[in-house]
Structure 1
Amino acid sequence: MATRSRTGNNTSGCESTNNTERLITKVCATFTSQLEEKFDVEFEKINDRHSEMSRALGTLRSDCTGNTKKIQNLEPRVDHLEQLQKRRSVRILGLTESENENPVETLIDFLDQYLNVSCEIRDVNAVFRVKGTERNSGPRVLLLIFTRLLLKQSVMSANKAMFKGSNILVYEDLTKEVYQLLRLTKKKYGPRNVWSSSGKVFVKSGDTKKCISSRDDIM
């Protein structure tokens, strides 16, 4: 009987193993190449998308900056228009508030008794109590709107010596921005040297009078 050579078997087995390894290497290389190609394609898509988003974000930022500037330019105009709506309005702080009071009668009596200003019901467009920011307790602010600007000016220019030393204050109805400007100006120059007139803030320094138009004017 013929006997196979062990050497031949080993050689054949080694060649088979080498062929298998080469096949696996080739398959892996092909798969890796295909995977790299797909990755490159997807990466390009992601990169393109990122560039688009970056451009869109840049446009959005530019638009936001432009809108912010527009808003900043509009704010003074809006505040001016709001102040014009308040040009016939006056606030009275510290005026005793009674239960079931008639605000119109309270106002008319106050103007006649303390300011010597004659006022009738027809001269008042509206009058009511509001919760002011000036005080946390005590009577609510009496807000009144005259039908005539001249009457409002008479009230603001009237001699207020009758209630000097009391808690009563009579002042213009101001927008939030103008009111804050008034407070800041008083804080720097002192309340006796600062006042408002026709919705504008003024300060007296020595013999000069200056209009404070913005917070930059206080510096």
Structure 2
Amino acid sequence: MEKINKKLMDVSDSLKLLDKTVSSNTKAISELTDKFDLLEQYFKKNFLRFLGIAENNDEDLVEIIVSLINNTLKVPCANQDIDYTFRVSKLTQADNTRAVLVNFVSNIKRTQVFNSRKLLKGTNLSVYEDLTRKRYDLLKEAKKRIWHGPQMVKYF
């Protein structure tokens, strides 16, 4: 009987040690996930996501974006202000467009364009920050709580 109790205590001690290890690893994974999200968002700091831009086979996205920024958003912009552009996601049948990601050379120009996005009101175009999945889901949840939560306040 004493042997069984000793073995049981040994197994119990091993289990406690494994629980501590799992808890420590879970905490480390959570911290690393947060750091990775921070690094990914830092990488995206000069990106903006444009929605509603019609798609053509022989399009020059840089020219289209520069024209949109200059003419519609009223922000002076040249081709040299944009590092690169590309379309993302799958082509949908509903509107036949895909989002355009634009990487600006400087964060200053990106911020000017982002701050002038209110000039797109009433058009089918929109501009959003390029967020990580975690931050996008958090923003979506915050908007949902603002509009549908118990403390909802709408200003008109």
Normalising TM by the smaller chain, what interval? Answer: 0.7 to 0.9
TM-superposed deviation, 1:115: 0.5
Mapped pair 1:102 → 2:99: no
Structure with higher helix content: 1
Name the count of aligned residue pairs: 148
1-side partners of 2:46 and 2:147: how far apart? 26
TM-superposed deviation, 1:123: 1.3
Off by >6 Å, runs of 4+ in structure 1: 46-50
1:103-122: per-residue Cα shift (whole Å, max 9, x none)?
21121121122111222222
Could you say what secondary structure the match of 1:166 adopts?
coil
Instruction: Extract unaligned runs of 5+ from structure 1.
Output: 1-39, 192-204, 207-219
Please, what TM-score do these two structures have when normalized by structure 1? 0.58
Equivalent residue number for residue 71 of structure 1 = 29
1:78-114: per-residue Cα shift (whole Å, max 9, x none)?
3222212111110001111111212211211211221
Amino acid at match of 1:189: I
1:108-151: per-residue Cα shift (whole Å, max 9, x none)?
1211221112222221112100017xx78431100011010110
Identical-pair percentage? 33
Could you say what secondary structure the match of 1:153 adopts?
helix
2-side partners of 1:88 and 1:136: how far apart? 29
Alignment of 1:11-26 (within 5 A): none
2-side partners of 1:55 and 1:99: how far apart? 66
Q: Is the 8 A contact 1:89 1:173 kept in 2?
A: yes
2-side partners of 1:136 and 1:64: how far apart? 46
Please, what TM-score do these two structures have when normalized by structure 2? 0.78
Amino acid at match of 2:83: N
Distance 1:100 1:88, change over 3 A: same
Q: Is the 8 A contact 1:115 1:155 kept in 2?
A: yes
Q: Is the 8 A contact 1:90 1:170 kept in 2?
A: yes
1-side partners of 2:147 and 2:71: how far apart? 29
Equivalent residue number for residue 86 of structure 2 = 128
Alignment of 1:53-72 (within 5 A): 53-72=11-30
**Structure with the greater alpha carbon radius of gyration:** 1
Mapped pair 1:154 → 2:112: yes
2-side partners of 1:74 and 1:104: how far apart? 36
TM-superposed deviation, 1:159: 5.3
Amino acid at match of 1:181: L
Equivalent residue number for residue 145 of structure 2 = 188
1:26-82: per-residue Cα shift (whole Å, max 9, x none)?
xxxxxxxxxxxxxx9xxx6x8877765554343222101111112223333332222
